[in-house]
Structure formats: C-alpha cells, structure tokens
Amino acid sequence: MRQTGLPHNVASMPVRHQLTGCDTPLILRHQFSPADNVRLAHLCGPLDENLRQIEIAFDIAIRHREQHFTLEGARARSALALLQALWLRAERPLNLDDIQLELTQAAQGQEPQLQTADDEPVLHTRRAGLHGRTAHQSEYIRNILGHDLTLGLGPAGTGKTFLAVACAVDALERNAVQRLVLTRPAVEAGERLGFLPGDLAQKIDPYLRPLYDALYDLLGFESTQKLFERGTIEIAPLAFMRGRTINSAFIILDEAQNTTPEQMKMFLTRIGFGSRAVITGDLSQVDLPRGAQSGLTQAERILRGVRGVAVTRFTTVDVVRHPLVARIVEAYERAESQAQAEEARPDRRARPVAAQRRPRSAPEPAATAVPETDDAPAPRQTRARRKPPA
C-alpha cells in the first residue's frame, strides 16, 4: 500500500562548515516523500511565510526546491524535527498561529505533538479541539474544570483571559451554568479618559474589550449579541457588585491586579451556589496609584492552601503571541532583576548622615571693617571721574 504524507529522510547529514572547518553550524538536507504539492504549499505558507517564522525562531537558514529542503544553522536538527511534525499536519492549511504555537512548545524543549494527549482536557467551543498548548495552560484548564475558584497569574500573552472565556463558553454549551458574568476594575493604564458617554454598559465596554474579542472568536458575533440581549452574558461593573449573590454562573474577573484589597474581598464573597469563578491578572502591570496595595497580591497570599482554590502561575515560555512578545517580557524581567540587585548592594545601603555629607571648601575670610575713631576718621572711597574726551 502506498504511504501518503509520511516524511522520508534521504540525505539528512551534517556537513563540515567551509570556513571554520567544524561540524557547527550544521547543514542538513532532507526530502519529503512521496511528493505532495498540496502539503508542500500548506507547510511553506503564502510566500514561504511559515518558513520565515521558523528561520527567525531557530536562527537558521532554510532553502528548498520543491520537496528538497536544506537547513543550515546550529539548531538545524530541532527545526527539522518541527518541519517533519508540521508536514504530517499539512493536510489542511497552516496559519501563523499554528506555527507560533509550535514554536512556543519548541522553546520549552518539548517534542512537537501531532495530536492531543488522551488525558488532556479538550474544550467544546466553536473552535474544534481547543486545548492547552503548553503544560501550564493544560494545568490552568484542569484547575478551572476541577475547582470553584481559580487564579491565573502571569505575563501578558499567556492565554489567561482567552482560556478562561473558553472554559466559560464550554460550561455554557454543556448547560453546567445558566449565564456568564464578566467584570473588571475600571482603571486606566496611566491615562485619564474622563467621563465616557452612554449608559452603564457602554461606559464599561472599553475596559472589557479583551473579553469581547474572545467571545466573538469562540461564539461568533451574532450568537454573542443574542446572548447579550437575552441576558445570558452579563456585564457587571465591579463597583456595583456589593450586596449581590451570583448563583449558577461562570464569573470572570479580568485585570484583577488593579483591584484594591477591599474590592477583591467583596468580589470573592459574591460567589453563590453552582457558580465558578476565575480571576486573572499580571502582577507586573499594576496601574493603581503609587503605594496602593494590589488586592490580587493579597488574595494570592491569603488563599494559598485553601481547599477549593487553585493557582496557576504562567511564565514567559507560555507566551503564545508573537515571539517578540516573549523576548520583550524577558528583557523587562532582566531589567527589574538588575534594578533589585543594584538596590540590594551593600554600598547602596543607607550610610550615616555625616558620611553622606561632602566636605565643603573653607570659605574665604570676610573683610573686617576698620572701626572709626575721633582721631582718625575712616577715609571715604570715591570713584574717580572720567574726563570727557577732547
């Protein structure tokens, strides 16, 4: 029987570098067989855009003539393993999201996965087969499905909000809950927009735009609008939740790092029977006034070890946005670590006040006035008049 779509390595071998004479960087030659132009087009992408992303991520050079590929670089073997895995999935078009998610796994040192693991939870939404792409994302989904309260902490781009909305849509589709409640603190990121026009929902809309984007992606625009009209999806400003008890609902508190301790305690005590809550936030992006304590920081410390509460911490390796985002987050973390190390240095600590004062140069002695006496009056100093020019 003829095999279809299986990679066959006919000449994958390292070649000694022509200039340095060493075995690195590697030059690997590989041929995918049998020839399949449809798979080849899906693998390379429009104008070889998929290959360009792999080149940038692995810092290698990729050249190909039909199904014959040549990879050159120190990480050519890892890139070839990824290409072989993508070739098996190339029955359908591969977009940049698929490529970047696979690159995220490769950055963690994981082997490319051709299919979802049997024990990995899969969410049933409009996007078929939605599941966690990293170990922390899979843990995050398990915590949401198995606990009444889940905290998702980590940098931007790790999928905290999107996966929380996906779990909420999955619970709504399975009739596990009757409605979705979305909320977040109305705190601007360093800007003051003043009073916004419209009713209450229109005023809070700009702050909940990330949640809307996830809902449109998972449910579709028309379905989302119908659920809003029927009240199945509710926008609840955090400032007006006091006194409520929310039953049989999936509650999402986004951007929780901008809550005060009082607001966080008030939100946590709103959870009613049959409800499930997810709190997301990035503790490195707090927009509260300087010196104010974040309610998320306090809640993470107080709720540690409480039964029914789960905490998932994401890192930069879980960033599933553009690869540049992960490098930006890592650069900021290095800068913050260096700043903390500088402050902790012994010579930076507070010194005695006397040691901090710089020695001043001795002032010049002031001219002493000659006392006047009756016998010798002090001479008056007069300015000599200048003679007019002749």
In a domain, 49, yes or no: yes
Tens-place pLDDT, residues 189-214: 555 545 566 666 666 777 778 888 88
Amino acid at the residue 80: L
Percent of the chain whose pLDDT exceeds 90? 32
Q: Is residue 7 pLDDT above 50, yes or no? A: no
* pTM (predicted TM-score): 0.66
Q: Which residues form the domain of 202? A: 135-314
In a domain, 384, yes or no: no
Which of 222-231, 264-273, 340-349 is predicted with the least confidence, judged by mean pLDDT?
340-349
100 lies in the same domain as 139: no
**What per-residue confidence (pLDDT) applies to 105?**
66
98 lies in the same domain as 145: no
162 lies in the same domain as 285: yes
Mean pLDDT in residue range 139-168: 93
Q: Is residue 297 pLDDT above 60, yes or no? A: yes
**If pLDDT is split at 50, 70 and 90, which confidence band does 53 have?**
confident
62 lies in the same domain as 83: yes
Residue 294 sits in a domain of what CATH number? 3.40.50.300
Residue of higher predicted confidence among 107 and 329: 329
**If pLDDT is split at 50, 70 and 90, which confidence band does 238 have?**
confident
Q: Is residue 109 pLDDT above 90, yes or no? A: no
* C-alpha–C-alpha distance, residues 116 and 119, integer Å: 8
Q: Is residue 19 pLDDT above 70, yes or no? A: no
Q: Is residue 8 pLDDT above 50, yes or no? A: no
**What per-residue confidence (pLDDT) applies to 292?**
87
Give start and end residues of each alpha helix (H) in the chain.
37-44, 49-58, 76-88, 96-107, 135-146, 160-173, 200-204, 209-219, 221-230, 261-268, 295-302, 323-343, 353-356
73 lies in the same domain as 100: yes
Q: Is residue 253 pLDDT above 80, yes or no? A: yes
**What per-residue confidence (pLDDT) applies to 148?**
95
Determine how many CB atoms are found less than 10 A away from the CB of residue 42: 20
Q: Is residue 299 pLDDT above 70, yes or no? A: yes
**What per-residue confidence (pLDDT) applies to 382?**
54
Spell out the long-range contacts of 364-368 with Cβ–Cβ below 8 A and sequence spacing 24 or more. Answer: none
Mean pLDDT in residue range 322-346: 80
In a domain, 190, yes or no: yes
| CA-wise closest residue to 185 among 241, 259, 295 | 259
195 lies in the same domain as 327: no
Mean pLDDT in residue range 298-327: 85
Q: Is residue 273 pLDDT above 60, yes or no? A: yes
Cβ atoms of residues 112 and 105 within 8 Å:
yes
Residues 6+ positions from 155 with CB-CB distance below 8 Å = 282, 284, 314, 315, 316, 319, 329
Residue of higher predicted confidence among 115 and 122: 122
* 383's tokens: 């300015």
Q: Tell me how many domains the chain contains.
A: 3
**What per-residue confidence (pLDDT) applies to 377?**
54
56 lies in the same domain as 174: no
Residue of higher predicted confidence among 310 and 340: 310
Residue 30 sits in a domain of what CATH number? 3.30.1370.10
The values of phi and psi at residue 29, to 5°, are -115, 130
**What per-residue confidence (pLDDT) applies to 384?**
55
Mean pLDDT in residue range 98-126: 67
In a domain, 372, yes or no: no
In a domain, 224, yes or no: yes
In a domain, 226, yes or no: yes
189 lies in the same domain as 309: yes
**What per-residue confidence (pLDDT) applies to 6?**
38
